[in-house]
Amino acid sequence: MLQGTFHPNQEIKSPFLTSKKVNLYIKRLDLIHPTAGGNKYFKLLYNLKEAEIRSHKTILTFGGAYSNHIYSTAAACQALGLRSIGIIRGEAGKQLSPTLEYAKECGMSLHYMDRETYRNKQQAEVVENLRRQFGSFYLIPEGGTNKLAIKGCMEILREEDHRMDYIGAAIGTGGTLTGLIASARASQTVLGISSLKGEFIHKEIACLLESHAIEPKAKYELFTDYHFGGYAKYKQELIEFMREFTDQNGIPLDPIYTGKLFYGIYDLIKKDYFHEHASILLIHSGGLQGIEGFNMRHQENLRSS
């Protein structure tokens, strides 16, 4: 079983936060495991345990060339002595991305799937073809979100975190936020900052809660105005915010998820969304492995540590 180490929540202090009379803390999930950290640690935790219970020796999953999930799954499988197979969206490039290079070094077998088939990857026919090709395996969906992933994400919040008024997290596939909503107390509000463009995320989260029979005690609110153009899109304003935050606090952020989360929460603080003396806990979900590839593609120099 994966072994992780929790670190104390880190308080952020600044004249801006003092002037707004709010208290801001960071839960550093990026530090919980050296290679399979962040929210992926919790998404993989019970999935890999279930694979062990079912005596599976091979894990198969899906992702793009810069996927945090592919990276963490490869690392976790290597640590546990499991065979891993990554089905990668699209065609093979001339050069492996830093993410896929690392996954390959961890022993993950990489196979490419055309985008049309990839869109139908959950269909029984596609999965059966993969079983004929690779034999028996335990399947983890793209992004890792399923019932066991949500169960794992319900363990992100610890007893001391229930004293917080607000819990903030980035939204991708929605599994992490669903777990947080399920485990937060009635006195708390969970805030989700979507990294994806569009209002569909409201329906996605509602469907996840309904399909997993979760009746949350906490309130939750989703924000869809901080995507900076959509998934994996960005604007220079975001990059400048991330650089300034990291320089001031020594905490690196990734441009896909945590950068947008922190930008969004700071903007809400600026707009007096929070009441005086509110305590806000932001979930640092990791994803720092993607910074090397981001810098390479966009000629940026974001820090990853």
136-170 tens-digit pLDDT: 999 999 999 999 999 999 999 999 999 999 999 99
Edge-to-edge, what's the strand order for the sheet holding 10-12?
10-12, 22-28, 278-284, 166-171, 189-194, 219-223
What letter represents residue 7's amino acid?
H
Query: For residue 170, how far is the Cα from the chain centroid?
Result: 7
Q: What is the pLDDT of residue 190?
A: 98
Residue recorded with tokens 């062990």: 52
Q: Is 20 helix (H, G, I), strand (E, B) or coil?
A: helix
Q: How confident is the model at residue 48 (pLDDT cuts 50, 70, 90)?
A: very high
Q: How confident is the model at residue 122 (pLDDT cuts 50, 70, 90)?
A: very high
Residue recorded with tokens 């980035």: 170
| Contact status, residue 216 vs residue 187, Cβ threshold 8 Å | no
Q: What is the pLDDT of residue 305?
A: 80
Is pLDDT of 110 > 90?
A: yes
Q: Report the share of the chain in percent with pLDDT over 90.
A: 92
Q: DSSP assignment, residue 196?
A: S
Closest Cα to residue 263, out of 301, 288, 234?
234
Q: What is the pLDDT of residue 120?
A: 96
* Helix pair 200-211, 175-183: axis angle to 10 deg: 60
Q: What is the pLDDT of residue 304?
A: 83
Q: What is the pLDDT of residue 170?
A: 98
Rg of the Cα atoms in the chain: 19
Q: What is the pLDDT of residue 249?
A: 97
Q: DSSP assignment, residue 33?
A: S
Mean pLDDT of the chain: 96
Q: Which two tokens stand for residue 24?
A: 């801001």
Rounded to the nearest 10°, the torsion over CA 246, 252, 254, 255 is: 10
271 Cβ contact partners less than 8 Å away, ≥ 6 residues apart: none
Is pLDDT of 231 > 90?
A: no
Residue recorded with tokens 């700071």: 266
Average pLDDT estimate for 276-298:
94
Is pLDDT of 116 > 90?
A: yes
Type and span of the H or E element at 294: helix 290-298
Find the largest Cα–Cα distance for the chain: 62
Q: Which two tokens stand for residue 29?
A: 């999930």
Nearest-angstrom CA–CA distance, 35 and 70 = 12
Q: Report the share of the chain in percent with pLDDT over 70.
A: 100
Q: Which two tokens stand for residue 300?
A: 């940026």
Nearest-angstrom CA–CA distance, 46 and 155 = 11
Q: DSSP assignment, residue 9?
A: P
Residue recorded with tokens 């880190």: 10
Q: How confident is the model at residue 93 (pLDDT cuts 50, 70, 90)?
A: confident
Q: What are phi and psi of 28, to 5 degrees?
A: -85, 75
Is pLDDT of 301 > 90?
A: no
Average pLDDT estimate for 7-28:
98
pTM for this predicted structure: 0.95
Is pLDDT of 1 > 80?
A: no
Q: What are phi and psi of 172, to 5 degrees?
A: -120, -95
Is pLDDT of 45 > 90?
A: yes
Average pLDDT estimate for 258-279:
98
Average pLDDT estimate for 227-239:
92
